[in-house]
């Protein structure tokens, strides 16, 4: 029999490996410390901050899905980003990042740059000419790519950014939280490292905060593992267990997220209360062709705009029964958020406007409920908006 596919390996990671009792599901190793085999001879695991067998199962399964040499599992997505920044950047070197990156990433980039850890340059990396000019002018040591972006689902060309970045010797890092390795494979497209907020789709049940960095080479795995241990940001055993449990069903969940989102995109596009729908599956999306080329899934996040601004968004969201008003994304349950007053509330109005965030904009994290129920809930919301005018 040939080697099982990465999906099969993710489903079966650690299954039937317990030699003590024959437990089918691997145990959670809670011990903080491990005995020495004999005087001066340590075992593969010695102290749980540095290494833990439960964490390794998740790391290896995720690395398999991304096609990497290995992964470092961290206490959160921000822990993964912290590890990468410390490992790769010194004072005076440049980090080039998207101007509309995840707010927590922006806050960390800005705070560390403010203390002289590195120089930060922000640019619109979805614009090929702007990206090329920024890379040639600033010669960054790290190019940070986040595609699709939040909340507008703008697409950056991973392959083009990787080649340009490599021309100036940069390490190219992709935040693949939105797509997951089933929807996009940044290492295959030329990126060197992939970071994840595994809190979202990978763990998938909105009950654990955890992150990871997947590396192309064993040398990078070793270096980043050293930094994660040194910084003290490695992931906990029980959190790793929950994330691995989520990963077992990733392919099944993503198929339903994708199908439900497609039905919802069709509903929204045909409704008079809606002024715009942002989803890379739509031929009207400015980078639809690029998304179709570099992604295997268009994804379960759908952003749209309502005629009637803030009042319309409020009428729509108040009274939804299945979509919970909450930040975050990627869980089995559907969520709805209002970027202007929730995820992007810290931006002043004119900065929001420049970023394309409007008062009538709503973002859905489409869950895996029965799609007919989701359509019913959203249709009732759109009728409330229509009845306003």
Ligand X SMILES: *Cc1c(COP(=O)(O)O)cnc(C)c1O
Q: Binding residues for ligand X, per CB under 6 A?
A: 76-78, 102, 104-105, 146, 175, 177, 197, 199-200, 209, 211
Other Cβ atoms less than 10 A from the Cβ of 350: the count is: 8
Q: Report long-range pairs for 330-333 (Cβ below 8 Å, ≥24 apart).
A: 330/177, 330/199, 330/200, 330/201, 330/202, 330/204, 330/206, 330/300, 330/365, 331/200, 331/204, 331/205, 331/206, 331/365, 331/367, 332/204, 332/205, 332/206, 332/253, 332/367, 332/368, 333/206, 333/367, 333/369
Q: With left for phi above 0 and alpha for psi between -120 and 50, is residue 276 left, alpha or beta?
A: beta
Q: How far is the CB of 145 from ligand X (least distance, A)?
A: 11
60 is catalytic: no
Nearer to ligand X, 200 or 338 (CB): 200
200 catalytic, yes or no? yes
Residue sitting closest to ligand X (CB): 77
359/253 Cα distance (integer angstroms): 31
Choosing from 60, 157, 175, 239, the catalytic residue is 175
Q: Residues 29, 55, 102, 248: which is the catalytic one?
A: 102
Q: Which of 49, 139, 245, 384 is catalytic?
A: 49
In the bound state with ligand X, the residue whose beta carbon lies nearer, of 314 and 363, is 363
Q: Shortest Cβ distance from residue 213 to ligand X (Å)? A: 12
Task: Assess whether 47 carries a catalytic annotation.
Answer: no
Query: Which CB atom, from 65 or from 382, has the smaller least distance to ligand X?
Result: 65
Total length of the chain: 389
In the bound complex, what is the minimum distance in angstroms from residue 146's beta carbon to ligand X? 6
What is the smallest separation between the CB atom of 177 and ligand X, expressed in angstroms? 4
Q: Which of 55, 185, 200, 216 is catalytic?
A: 200
Query: Which residue lies nearer to ligand X by CB, 181 or 381?
Result: 181
Q: Which is nearer to ligand X, 72 or 273 (CB)?
A: 72
Positive/negative CA dihedral, 15, 237, 20, 62: positive
Query: Is omega for the bond preceding 148 within 30 degrees of 0, making it cis?
Result: yes
| Residue with the two structure tokens 């392959």 | 159
Where helices occur in the chain by DSSP H, the ranges are: 6-12, 53-66, 77-88, 103-114, 128-138, 158-167, 180-183, 186-189, 218-231, 237-248, 250-269, 288-294, 309-317, 349-354, 371-386
Query: What's the token pair of residue 366?
Result: 């489409």
Instruction: Specify the 3-state DSSP secondary structure of 243.
Output: helix
Least Å distance, CB 299 to ligand X, is 12
User: Is 321 a known active-site residue?
Assistant: no
- Of residues 54 and 177, the one with the C-beta less far from ligand X: 177
Q: How far is the CB of 233 from ligand X (least distance, A)?
A: 10
d(CA 176, CA 81): 12
Count of C-beta atoms within a 10 Å radius of residue 197:
29
CB of 46 to ligand X, least distance (A): 27
Nearer to ligand X, 200 or 314 (CB): 200
CA distance 355 to 375: 29
Strand ranges across the sheet with 193-197: 70-74, 211-215, 193-197, 171-175, 142-146, 94-98, 119-123
Catalytic positions: 49, 102, 175, 200
């Amino acid at each position: 029999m040939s080697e099982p596919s990465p999906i099969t390996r993710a489903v079966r990671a650690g299954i039937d490996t317990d030699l003590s009792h024959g437990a089918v599901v691997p145990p959670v190793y809670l011990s903080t410390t491990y005995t020495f085999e004999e005087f001066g001879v340590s075992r593969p695991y010695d102290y749980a901050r540095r290494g833990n067998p439960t964490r390794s199962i998740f790391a290896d399964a995720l690395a398999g899905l991304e096609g990497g040499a290995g992964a470092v599992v961290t206490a959160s997505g921000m822990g993964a980003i912290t590890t990468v920044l410390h490992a790769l950047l010194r004072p005076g070197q440049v980090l080039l990042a998207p101007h509309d990156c995840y707010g927590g990433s922006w806050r960390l980039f800005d705070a560390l740059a403010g203390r002289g850890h590195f120089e930060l340059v922000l640019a619109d990396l979805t614009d090929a000419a702007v990206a090329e000019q920024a890379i040639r002018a600033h010669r960054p040591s790290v190019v940070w790519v986040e595609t699709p972006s939040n909340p507008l689902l703008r697409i950056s060309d991973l392959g083009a950014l990787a080649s340009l970045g490599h021309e100036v010797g940069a390490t190219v890092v992709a935040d693949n939280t939105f797509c997951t390795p089933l929807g996009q494979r940044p290492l295959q497209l030329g990126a060197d490292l992939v970071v994840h907020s595994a809190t979202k789709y990978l763990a998938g049940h909105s009950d654990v905060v955890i992150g990871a960095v997947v590396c192309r080479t064993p040398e990078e795995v070793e270096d980043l593992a050293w930094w994660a241990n040194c910084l003290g940001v490695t992931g906990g055993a029980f959190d790793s267990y929950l994330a691995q449990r989520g990963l077992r069903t990733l392919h099944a969940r993503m198929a339903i997220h994708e199908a439900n989102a497609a039905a919802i995109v069709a509903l929204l596009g045909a409704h008079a209360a809606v002024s715009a729908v942002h989803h890379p599956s739509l031929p009207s999306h400015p980078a639809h062709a690029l998304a179709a080329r570099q992604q295997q899934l268009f994804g379960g996040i759908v952003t749209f705009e309502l005629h009637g601004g803030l009042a319309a968004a409020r009428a729509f969201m108040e009274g939804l029964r299945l979509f919970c008003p909450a930040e975050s994304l990627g869980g089995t349950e559907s969520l709805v958020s209002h970027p202007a007053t929730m995820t992007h509330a810290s931006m002043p109005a004119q900065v929001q406007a420049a970023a394309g965030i409007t008062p009538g904009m709503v973002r859905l994290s489409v869950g895996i409920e029965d799609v007919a129920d989701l359509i019913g809930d959203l249709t009732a919301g759109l009728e409330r908006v229509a009845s306003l005018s």
